[in-house]
Amino acid sequence: MTNKITTILFDLDGTLIDTNELIITTYLHTLNKYYPSKYSREDVLPFMGPTLHEAFSTVDPDRVEEMILEYRTFNIANHDALVKEFAGVLETVGTLKEKGYKLGIVTTKRLDVTLKGLRLMKLDSFFEVIVAYDHVSKTKPDPEPIFKALEQLDSTPSEAMMVGDNYHDILAGKNAGTITAGCAWSIKGREYLAKYEPDYILENMADILTILGE
């Protein structure tokens, strides 16, 4: 296995950059505006991972677009203050790049906000391909975004690994036929991720290097 992985695809939020606090705060701000005091931190955890459209559709199908607009406005305004780095990510991604791996991002986030986060964390120079919400008709766990990224990287599922912190990432990888790695630092916890049986669980991003034999 270790000889043939040439390509690593990463989810963004909760995997490469710590946007957990930003996302939770933004959801609570938005929901409190429409439904004061109804939602707690625990209530919004299931919204982490799905698209905004999917998340808000479960709250009020008639106000989805309105709530998405409110969410995005607050999220952008508070982005740089609330986004943090995860230990080991910058160094590991830099090493992978140096060693010649093809690197891509597959996210359910819009491209403009994805780039904002990558630039803030100084990760923007490492990735050859970004497949964001704007680029696909079906989002993870559908394999379409992964296939799209692999095609642009001139790579195949059998030589790729999908790394993420959410079940969407693991299932998308499995559906596409890649190796999968879950992040133990997922806000939903290691046990939650283990249920989806990724091939590997990373305790720290640097574990990828060990798996690849680097």
What CATH number does residue 26 fall under?
Answer: 1.10.150
Q: What is the pLDDT of residues 138-149, one digit of tens each?
A: 999 999 999 999
Q: What is the pLDDT of residues 45-91, one digit of tens each?
A: 999 888 999 999 999 999 999 999 999 999 999 999 999 999 999 99
Which residues, including other chains, have CB under 8 Å from residue 42's CB and lie 6 or more apart?
A: none
State the DSSP string of 142-188. SSHHHHHHHHHTT--GGGEEEEESSHHHHHHHHHHT-EEEEETT-TT
> In this model, does residue 3 exceed pLDDT 60?
no
Q: Which residue has the tokens 């690994």?
A: 161
Q: Could you confirm whether 112 is annotated as catalytic? A: no
Tell me if 16 sits within 8 A of 105, measured CB to CB: yes
Are 54 and 136 in a shared domain? no
Tokens representing 110 are 């819009």
Q: What is the pLDDT of residues 86-119, one digit of tens each?
A: 999 999 999 999 999 999 999 999 999 999 999 9
> What is the extent of the structural domain holding 71?
20-82
Among 11, 13, 18, 169, which one carries the catalytic annotation? 11
| Element holding 104 (H helix, E strand) | strand 102-106
2 within a domain of the structure (yes/no) = no
1 within a domain of the structure (yes/no) = no
Are 200 and 119 in a shared domain? yes
